[in-house]
């Protein structure tokens, strides 16, 4: 197999011609590509005046994960997702945990997996969803889209685990294609995104657009000591979620562990996560969770306080929901439960 044989021309709704260049509209970098040029993601290229996705069907990582690992706590709890990723990313995070695939720009000549073959695999293992994750799925959205449309024929849901730099064009297209997303909200700081992550600060707009497009949304913030752990920074994120997305939007607070190029900082102290938890609750968020530190995470009824779902790591210990409502007082709990 050759690289060229399985390169894929992207639908024209995701790029446009501009003089002697084409503008890629898969993400908010809107790379203007000359003939033969590849975008900042490393995997979308101008070939003969068309946008070609070099990783279409070229899966670099695949695994069956509990949905809680995405993390999604209010979307089919206890279910399993077939998780896939390619190579490439439209950010340059120095703390990336999947940097071996996300930060490489080398597209391997590996076997091609068609959307039909991937969905057949998902059906074989009887998973409830397919998660596009590990690297930034926006850069391989043409493939994720085709897989998702095939999966929907069999009632399989589709999930994006993303950094939130999708273009409005892609988000609009997600309506009816992607069912849920966990979006990284790294800091409420435009300069930080541009300086350190080499990306536009589009997460707030992306989150609002995804909500309008009908996706179930959960937000994750990786708390890094000395970077985004100041209470005022976390308060901005919590207030945004509460006021713009709704108090029922789950917020996952994740502990940092030294990795990739950021090994000069300690892991996030548990006390920092606990303080962030209180910030979220003070902002009025009903569902705040702590990740990467091995604590039990419980979904409580926001009305009566009853313990509804108890988790240890990625394992459901107890689920007392009744048809998506509190077993004690009958309050409807936000989420997708079946």
Counting Cβ atoms within 10 Å, is residue 18 exposed (0-12), middle (13-18) or buried (19+)?
exposed
Paired tokens of 13: 């709704």
Say how many C-beta atoms besides its own lie within 10 A of residue 165's C-beta. Answer: 27
Q: Is pLDDT above 60 for 254?
A: yes
Distance CA 68, CA 75 (A): 9
The residue written with tokens 């394992």 in the block is 315
Residue 221 pairs with which residues in a beta bridge? 253
What would the pLDDT profile of 226-235 be if each residue is shown by its tens digit?
Answer: 999 999 999 9
- Of the pLDDT bands very low, low, confident and very high (cuts 50, 70, 90), residue 318 is very high
- Contact criterion met (CB below 8 Å) for 156 and 185: no
Paired tokens of 281: 């609750």
The predicted structure's pLDDT at residue 111: 79
3-state SS track over 74-134:
CECCCCEEEEEECCCCCCCCCCCCCHHHHCCCCCCCCCCCCHHHHHHHHHHCCCCEEEECC
| Run of H or E residues at 53 | strand 50-53
pTM (global) more than 0.85: yes
The predicted structure's pLDDT at residue 105: 67
- Of the pLDDT bands very low, low, confident and very high (cuts 50, 70, 90), residue 159 is very high
What would the pLDDT profile of 31-84 be if each residue is shown by its tens digit?
Answer: 999 999 999 999 999 999 999 999 999 999 999 999 999 999 999 999 999 999
The predicted structure's pLDDT at residue 274: 96
Q: Summarize the confidence of residues 120-135 as an average pLDDT.
A: 97
The predicted structure's pLDDT at residue 4: 40
Q: Is pLDDT above 50 for 1?
A: no
Percentage of the chain lying above the pLDDT 70 cut = 96
The predicted structure's pLDDT at residue 7: 65
The residue written with tokens 């966990």 in the block is 182
Distance CA 336, CA 338 (A): 6
Q: Give the contacts of 273 (CB within 8 A, at least 6 positions apart).
A: 223, 253, 255, 290, 293
Q: Give the contacts of 271 (CB within 8 A, at least 6 positions apart).
A: none
Say how many C-beta atoms besides its own lie within 10 A of residue 295's C-beta. Answer: 17
Say how many C-beta atoms besides its own lie within 10 A of residue 261's C-beta. Answer: 13
């Amino acid at each position: 197999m050759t690289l060229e044989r399985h390169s894929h021309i992207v639908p024209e709704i995701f790029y446009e011609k501009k003089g002697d260049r084409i503008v890629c509209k898969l993400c908010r970098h809107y790379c203007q590509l000359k003939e033969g040029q590849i975008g900042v993601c490393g995997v979308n290229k101008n070939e003969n005046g068309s946008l070609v996705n070099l990783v279409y069907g070229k899966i670099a990582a695949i695994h069956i994960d509990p949905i809680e690992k995405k993390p999604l706590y209010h979307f089919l709890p206890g279910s399993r997702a077939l998780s896939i990723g390619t190579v490439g990313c439209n950010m340059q995070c120095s703390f990336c945990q999947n940097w071996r695939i996300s930060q490489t720009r080398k597209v391997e000549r590996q076997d091609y997996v068609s959307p039909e073959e991937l969905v057949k695999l998902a059906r074989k293992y009887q998973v409830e969803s397919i998660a596009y994750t590990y690297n930034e799925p926006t850069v391989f959205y043409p493939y994720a889209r085709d897989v998702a449309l095939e999966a929907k024929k069999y009632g399989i849901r589709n999930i994006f685990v993303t950094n939130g730099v999708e273009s409005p064009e892609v988000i609009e297209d997600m309506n009816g294609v992607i069912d849920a997303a966990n979006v990284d909200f790294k800091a409420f700081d435009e300069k930080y995104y541009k300086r350190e992550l080499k990306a536009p600060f589009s997460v707030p707009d992306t989150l609002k657009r995804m909500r309008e497009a009908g996706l179930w949304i959960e937000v994750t913030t990786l708390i890094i000591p000395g970077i985004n752990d100041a209470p005022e920074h976390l308060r901005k994120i919590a207030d945004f979620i509460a006021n713009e997305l709704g108090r029922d939007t789950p917020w996952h607070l994740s502990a940092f562990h030294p990795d990739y190029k950021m090994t000069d900082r300690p892991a996030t102290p548990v006390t920092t996560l606990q303080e962030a938890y209180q910030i979220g609750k003070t902002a009025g968020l009903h569902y705040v969770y702590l990740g990467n530190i091995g604590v039990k995470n419980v979904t409580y009824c926001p009305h009566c306080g009853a313990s509804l779902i108890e988790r240890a790591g990625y394992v459901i210990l107890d689920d007392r929901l009744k048809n998506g409502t509190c077993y004690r007082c009958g309050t409807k709990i936000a989420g997708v439960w079946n």
